[in-house]
Amino acid sequence: MSLSPVVEDEVPAVAAVPPPAAAAPVSPEVVEEELRQKIKEEMQRSLEEEINQKRQELQRQLEEMRAQAQAEAKAAAQAQVEEQVKKMLESEKAVYLENLTDSIMKERMKTEDEKLMVQLYWMELKAHQLEQREQELKKRGTLYKEHIAKLETKCTEFYKVTAESFQKGKEETHNRFARFNIQPVCGDLQSQILKCYKENTGKTLSCSSIASAYMQCVDNAKKNKLSTGG
């Protein structure tokens, strides 16, 4: 059995570090240039910050102006809408009032027409009632005239018979008592009634008052004669 050869570890070689070189002296021009560069950078940063602030300020103002413009536009639009709504409401109100006025006028005219119709109805009814009343009065007048004619006929016959009887009785009495000087009973009324009959032929009712007075006078004379026993 053979043994493997032994390998020795290699030690890395350490490079030698040279000592730091001494700093080279800086010239004033370089220092001035570096300072100028720093100032320039500071100014650049300050300018950029100022520009950013201005940009933000302008952005804020722009947003405020935009918001104000939107608010004004919204207010103007709302005012315009309100004006249009107001005009529309006024127009609708005017139309409504006009329609309402027309309706009221039509209702009043209808009411007046109904009143006139009622008045016309009552006038026609009253006229009809008056016409019926007139016809009834005419009918009654005709009946009254017929009744008067019948009464006049009866009275004429009655007074004729009465006058004839009276004349006959007068003649008989005169013939019987011709020798006596006797005054006729109720002679004045007798003359008046005979005269009235002659002047009002066919109108015996005109002599009714005289005839009644004459009959009453005759009755009184009879009563007086009976009471005196003559």
- Please state the φ and ψ torsions of residue 9, each to the nearest 5 degrees: -65, 135
| Residue-range domain boundaries for the chain | 185-230
Examine the pLDDT at 14 and tell me if it is beyond 50. Answer: no
Separation of alpha carbons 114 and 108, rounded Å = 10
In this predicted structure, what is the pLDDT of residue 84? 86
Q: Over the stretch 111-146, which tens digit does the pLDDT of each residue have?
A: 888 888 898 889 889 898 998 888 888 888 888 788
Q: What is the pTM of this model?
A: 0.28
Across the chain, what does the average pLDDT equal? 79
Separation of alpha carbons 79 and 71, rounded Å = 12
In the 3-class helix/strand/coil scheme, how is 154-166 assigned residue by residue? HHHHHHHHHHHHH
